[in-house]
Amino acid sequence: MGDKSIQKKQYIIDVAAKVFAEMGYKNVTMKDVVEACEISRGGLYLYYESTAQLFIDVMKSQAEAGGDFTSLISDDATAADILLLFLQEEKKELFKKKNNLNRAYYEFYFDEKPSKADNVLKKKFDSNIKMIGKLIEIGVESGEFTCENPLSAAFNIMYLIEGMKTTALTLGISSDSYDRQILYILESLGVEA
């Protein structure tokens, strides 16, 4: 596959990402992608055999492009600062109107069980757990946090975020409600607001 092909593939991925963001995963047909990309029917099939394959590449592309929030951490940030930053970044992600793939992610995972290599969400989840766990440990050592089981706390935070994400897609969630949960987490870790 030549340079040009790689560019075209990336173009398809980028356009498809928008389509998936708008329509979710299950509603998107190959035809939808073809039309959004303004290419021919056969043209898409040169690169992807199904929306499933395409979506996997969309996920991978997003994972790579995903802004590294660690770059936002200032040098003198405390553990609580960093945790707060993380929660706020996740909030932004959750509430963003454009290119929000959350719904598509869920629909995809309900239908398909990606191979370990393709399981982008799992990797992200695991790395977040590790990161948050470590962060809490550091916070406990520095006296910022009180927490008997940092790992459980990390899972707690991740499940909580997950729950707010899905609730946003189903019943709806307000920005304030999210903020109150941030507060609640910090309080649970013994941080004075």
Partner DNA sequence: CATGAATGAGAGTTCATTCAT
Partner DNA sequence: GATGAATGAACTCTCATTCAT
Residues 6 or more apart whose Cβ sits within 8 Å of residue 104: 20, 21, 23, 24, 25, 28, 55
Q: Does 45 bind a second copy (CB under 8 A)?
A: no
Residue located via tokens 């690169």: 47
Q: How far is the CB of 109 from DNA (least distance, A)?
A: 19
Q: Which one among 49, 89, 111, 141 touches a second copy, defined by CB under 8 A? A: 111
Q: Does 96 bind DNA (CB under 7 A)?
A: no
b/e sequence 69-96, b meaning 16+ C-beta within 10 Å: beeeeeeeeebbebbbbbbeebbebbee
| Interface pattern 114-153 for a second copy (x via CB under 8 A) | -----x-xx--x----------------------xx--xx
Q: What are the φ/ψ torsions at residue 7 (nearest 5 degrees)?
A: -60, -45
The single-letter DSSP state of residue 71 is G
| Interface segment toward DNA; rule CB under 7 A; list 41-49, 77-85, 159-167, 185-193 | 41-49
Which among DNA, a second copy, none contacts residue 4 (Cβ within 5 to 8 A by kind)? DNA
Could you give the CA distance from residue 155 to residue 166 in angstroms, rounded to a whole number?
16
Closest CA to 61 of 93, 9, 13: 13
Q: Which residues bind a second copy (CB under 8 A)?
A: 24, 26-27, 103, 105-107, 109-111, 119, 121-122, 125, 148-149, 152-153, 155-156, 158-167, 169-171, 177, 180-181, 183-185, 187-188
Q: Which residues bind DNA (CB under 7 A)?
A: 1-2, 4-5, 8, 29-31, 39-43, 45-47, 49-51
